[in-house]
Amino acid sequence: MNAMTMRAALCVAAATLIGSATGPVLAQSGEVNVYTYREQKLIQPLFDEFSKATGIKVNVVSASSGLDKRIATEGANSPADVLLTVDVARLQDAVKAGIAQPIQSAVLDKAVPAQYRHPDGLWYGISMRARVVFASKDRVTQNALTYEELADPKWKGKICIRPGQHAYNNALIAAYIAKYGEAKAEEWLRGVKANLAQKPSGGDRDQARDVAAGKCDLGVANTYYWALMTKNPEQKAWTEATKVILPTFAGGGTHVNLSGVVLAKHAPNKANAVKLMEWLVGEKAQHIYADINYEYPVLAEVPVNPIVAGYGKLTPDAMPVAKISDYSKAASTLVDKTGFDN
């Protein structure tokens, strides 16, 4: 048995093991194997369209955590081709775990601004979301806000937010540290904590619910949730009671985060993996991200969904997103130090 045949046999064996644990066996011929943290219902329309356009089948393994460690443990026998995830910290975790390889693609380089990709091509952003405020229409008259202002005592007892240790808030705190340093970030975080109406809890939709119920005036959340709630009969009333404000850093722009892709170090279907990545930043996929998931496209020529456009013009902060992850650990430490989630 030659080396190539042996490697193929090992890949199939690894795929069989994964299939027994998670569902269908991941086949290797004419296919691409995606490990993802994203909800499959959000990304399946993308994979269906990709398969329709290319004839390449997409096999999916989804989990809420631990996929980078799983790929590392599988090693050279891993069937994983692509890791698809949200949040720059998780993209950087893949790099730190040694499971990524540089992606060589002129298509990706052209479509994705340098601000939204790894400087060495180890990951690329494929869609964006902003960390914003859902504000009460009745009780909040202003339509502009800075992140710094969330610590202003005028909001005492009026802010709702999910736990600070959640990835979405960790990234915002990390961005604040990157801009101002840990000392000022700690002072800011203590100020925000002093303004909380209740203990950080729930998810982003719950913040809109609590604003609508009068428990708080401002709720911190991601942009796409508000648009998704307008389509949910049980949650639409929460959007009718709130408005979306796109905060900015003083003298800067709005904090954004990414969903992105990593090419697995031992990808057995590398060519198909790159085809999938390139397709995901093409017009068809970017329209799906905009109109089904209500995210911001990374491809400049694709417009945002009209509901999202109704928030106002997004001016992303100029900080390279990769820089934010450098402060993820410090952000987590600050959350504990300030007792933010207590």
How many other C-beta atoms lie within 10 A of the C-beta of residue 27? 15
Query: What pLDDT is attached to residue 38?
Result: 85
Q: Residue 25: is its pLDDT beyond 90?
A: no
Higher pLDDT, 20 or 2: 2
Q: Among residues of the chain, what percentage have pLDDT more than 90?
A: 87
Helices marked H in 79-136 — which ranges?
A: 88-96, 106-111
Query: What pLDDT is attached to residue 8?
Result: 41
What does the pLDDT average to over 69-74? 95
Q: Residue 22: is its pLDDT beyond 60?
A: no
User: 252-270 burial, b if ≥16 CB within 10 A, otherwise e?
Assistant: bbbbbbbbbbbbbbbbbbb
Q: Which is nearest to 200 in space by CA: 163, 158, 168? A: 163
DSSP 8-state secondary structure symbol assigned to residue 248? B
Q: What domains sit in the chain, N to C, each tagged with a CATH number? A: 3-127+256-304 (3.40.190.10), 130-255+311-338 (3.40.190.10)
pLDDT band for position 187 (cuts 50, 70, 90): very high
- Average pLDDT over the chain reads 91
Q: Residue 162: is its pLDDT beyond 90?
A: yes
d(CA 118, CA 320): 9
Query: What pLDDT is attached to residue 23?
Result: 37
Q: Among residues of the chain, what percentage have pLDDT more than 70?
A: 92
pLDDT band for position 7 (cuts 50, 70, 90): very low
Query: 3-state DSSP: the chain helix, strand, coil percent, rounded to 5?
Result: 45, 15, 35
Query: What pLDDT is attached to residue 15?
Result: 40
The string of DSSP letters for 13-52 reads: HHHHHHHHHHSS----TTEEEEEESS-HHHHHHHHHHHHH
What does the pLDDT average to over 295-301? 95
d(CA 158, CA 268): 52
The structure tokens 């982003």 sit at 204
What does the pLDDT average to over 299-328? 95
Q: Residue 20: is its pLDDT beyond 70?
A: no
Query: What pLDDT is attached to residue 26?
Result: 45
How many other C-beta atoms lie within 10 A of the C-beta of residue 114? 10
d(CA 308, CA 87): 20
* Cβ 159 vs Cβ 175: under 8 Å: no
Per-residue pLDDT tens over the stretch 224-249: 999 999 999 999 999 999 999 999 99
DSSP three-state, residue 99: coil
Per-residue pLDDT tens over the stretch 263-275: 999 999 999 999 9
